[in-house]
Amino acid sequence: MEGWVKTYRKILDNPIICKDAETYAIWSYLLLNATHKEMPAMFKGKKIILQPGQLITGVKTIGDKFKINKDKVQRTLKCFETDKQINQETSSRNRLISIVNWGLYQSSDKQIDKQMINKCETSDKPVITNKNERNKEIYYYFINKYKSNEKDFFKQNKIISQMRNDEKWDELTWEQQLDLQTAIFFNEVI
């Protein structure tokens, strides 16, 4: 596999990923093996299209790579899933893992710049670019409920986790969810 991934320095402040060297190695494995573009693959005997940030692997494969006990790998992946850093779907042979914020951290600088430009300069609220597809009331509910000036990585992640656990979260479109997470993470909602 060729290419590179972005690694943000704030990852060192993440108590889940930096719990120990083995946990960090597992996270790095996921990042480095996730696809960066759509790619055909087989999962559960069916042809699927892997999306950016997804990979098919197994607990044994990861464990063998780093000489980590497969039970530790299993617990670590479950911890990542509980913390909503990954989603995983298992089969009898392997698992499909999706890195939740792949697009937020691995997108090109042009995409991040576009997100920043789309924020309203005269207001603290992000611009809603496609009003027909967005439910403004729920979107602004999240902005008002979870706005923060927090700069601590761990506390930002806690706020984002609280948003994801909110009963109204699933009523948002994927784009709205990404916009809200980006706004909280980059302190664009004040």
Nearest-5° angle of CA 30, CA 31, CA 32?
95
Whether 87 has a pLDDT exceeding 80, the answer reads: yes
pLDDT digits (tens, 9 = 90+) for 88-140: 999 999 999 999 988 888 876 544 445 544 543 444 444 444 433 446 777 77
pLDDT computed for residue 118 by the predictor: 53
Distances (CA, A) of 25 to 19, 74, 170: 11, 13, 32
pLDDT computed for residue 137 by the predictor: 77
pLDDT computed for residue 190 by the predictor: 39
Whether 189 has a pLDDT exceeding 60, the answer reads: no
| CATH number of this structure's domain 9-103, picked from the four choices 3.50.50.60, 3.40.50.620, 3.30.420.10, 1.10.10.10 | 1.10.10.10
Which residues contact residue 155 at a Cβ distance below 8 angstroms, ignoring those fewer than 6 apart?
A: 148
pLDDT computed for residue 135 by the predictor: 62
Helix H or strand E encompassing 86:
strand 86-90
CB 172 within 8 Å of CB 180: yes
Q: Which of 178, 155, 183 is nearest to 13 (CA)?
A: 155
Domain-wise residue ranges, the chain? 9-103, 107-185
Most confident stretch, 56-60, 135-139, 174-178: 56-60
Mean pLDDT of the chain: 80
143 pLDDT band (50/70/90 cuts)? confident
Whether 156 has a pLDDT exceeding 60, the answer reads: yes
